């Protein structure tokens, strides 16, 4: 399969990976609806390419997402590709557990996707086609230090993507899961620990587009970090706990 999208809706498009993805898709002639909360940043992005339209809203509100989705369709027509990418990262040690940060992470990283799926799935089922990419993380494979707020949300997204792929392919909908390793964006700028194999956001966006075009299920990069974390996933739990425990800063 080589996908030919006429339209794409990207959440979390004001900065980082989502912004690069919007620019690269628009450069290929795709009409892009770019969503996030930052109205000014989205307006800047729309000025960079006339094929990009800013459709700002907060993904944590089901009503705002429903209204935002209607504005997206008005602006770019039926959505061929949706990349549900909005996310927040709150580093949090379990010894300083903060329920508000954990809740906020669930609201944006998981429920933000859930809210977007509600209008997308019926529209794509009635069209008999469409592609949905859920952006999770390699941090969703297993528990990791400082990830008590973040990683469980990404594990949930990985599981959700699997179920959607299983059930929606018979309706002509391609579901993909994007699991990036470290990418140099505002999200990772707060990190004070080494980030092995970190890549630039334009590289991440290009890798995503290549995988999505092929209709791949999992698009994970860079391979070195993916291999290390997938190894942790298949190790017996006792061994994984011993190794991952040594990663504690
Ligand atoms: N960077 C990495 O190393 C890395 C690794 C693995 C996975 N990821 C995932 O990749 C995705 C993109 O991350 P990034 O690195 O590009 O981060 P980023 O530059 O911080 O971008 C996050 C995007 O999400 C949007 N967002 C946050 N809260 C929102 C809300 N409530 N409603 C709507 N939009 C919201 C932000 O826009 P506003 O603030 O304007 O709303 C921004 O556009 C995230 O899901 C992240 O978890 C990133």
Output Rg (C-alpha) for the chain, integer angstroms: 18
pLDDT for res 152? 98
Q: Which residues are catalytic?
A: 150
Asked whether residue 98 is assigned to any structural domain, the reply reads yes
Q: What is the pLDDT along the chain (249 residues), one digit of tens a residue?
A: 677 899 999 999 999 999 999 999 999 999 999 999 999 999 999 999 999 999 999 999 999 999 999 999 999 999 999 999 999 999 999 999 999 999 999 999 999 999 999 999 999 999 999 999 999 999 999 999 999 999 999 999 999 999 999 999 999 999 999 999 999 999 999 999 999 999 999 999 999 999 999 999 999 999 999 999 999 999 999 999 999 988 865
Output the pLDDT for position 248.
64
| Mutate-to-test residue for ligand 1 from 9, 13, 16, highest number of ligand atoms within 8 A of CB | 16
pLDDT tens by residue, 2-25: 778 999 999 999 999 999 999 999
pLDDT for the residue numbered 71: 98
- Evaluate: CB of 86 within 6 angstroms of ligand 1: yes
Question: Is residue 147 within 6 Å of ligand 1 at its C-beta?
Answer: no
CATH number for the domain including 130?
3.40.50.720
Strand, helix or coil for residue 143: coil
Whether 2 maps to a domain, the answer reads no
What confidence score (pLDDT) does residue 59 get? 98
Residue 110 located in a structural domain: yes
| SS3 label, residue 132 | strand
User: Is 105 within the bounds of a domain?
Assistant: yes
What integer pLDDT is reported at residue 183 of this predicted model? 98
Domain span at residue 79?
7-245
Which atom of ligand 1 is found nearest the CA of 183? Answer: 3
User: Count of domains in the chain?
Assistant: 1
Global pTM reads: 0.97
Which residues have CB under 8 Å from 77's CB, separation 6+? 6, 7, 31
Q: How many A from CA of 238 to the centre of ligand 1? A: 33
Decide if 1 is inside a domain: no
Asked if residues 224 and 197 have their Cβ atoms less than 8 Å apart, the reply is: yes
Over residues 177-198, the pLDDT tens digits come to 999 999 999 999 999 999 999 9
């Amino acid at each position: 399969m080589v996908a030919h999208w006429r339209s794409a809706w990207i959440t979390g498009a004001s900065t980082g990976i989502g912004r690069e993805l919007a620019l690269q898709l628009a450069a290929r002639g795709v009409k892009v609806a770019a969503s996030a909360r930052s109205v000014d940043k989205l307006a800047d992005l729309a000025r960079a390419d006339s094929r990009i339209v800013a459709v700002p809203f907060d993904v944590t509100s089901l009503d705002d997402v429903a209204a935002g989705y209607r504005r997206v369709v008005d602006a770019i027509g039926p959505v061929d590709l949706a990349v549900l990418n909005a996310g927040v990262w709150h580093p949090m040690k379990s010894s300083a557990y903060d329920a508000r940060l954990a809740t906020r992470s669930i609201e944006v990283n998981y429920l933000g996707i859930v809210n977007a799926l509600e209008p997308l799935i019926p529209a794509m089922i009635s069209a008999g086609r469409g592609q949905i990419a859920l952006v999770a993380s390699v941090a969703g494979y297993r528990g990791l230090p400082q990830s008590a707020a973040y990683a469980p949300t990404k594990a949930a997204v990985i599981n959700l993507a699997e179920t959607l792929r299983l059930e929606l392919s018979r309706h002509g909908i391609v579901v993909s899961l994007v699991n990036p390793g470290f990418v140099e964006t505002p999200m990772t700028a707060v990190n004070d620990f080494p980030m092995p194999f970190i890549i630039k956001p334009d590289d991440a966006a290009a890798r995503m587009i290549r995988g999505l075009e092929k209709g791949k299920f999992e698009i994970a990069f860079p391979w070195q970090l993916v291999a290390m974390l997938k190894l942790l996933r298949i190790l017996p739990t006792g061994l994984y706990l011993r190794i991952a425990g040594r990663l504690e800063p």
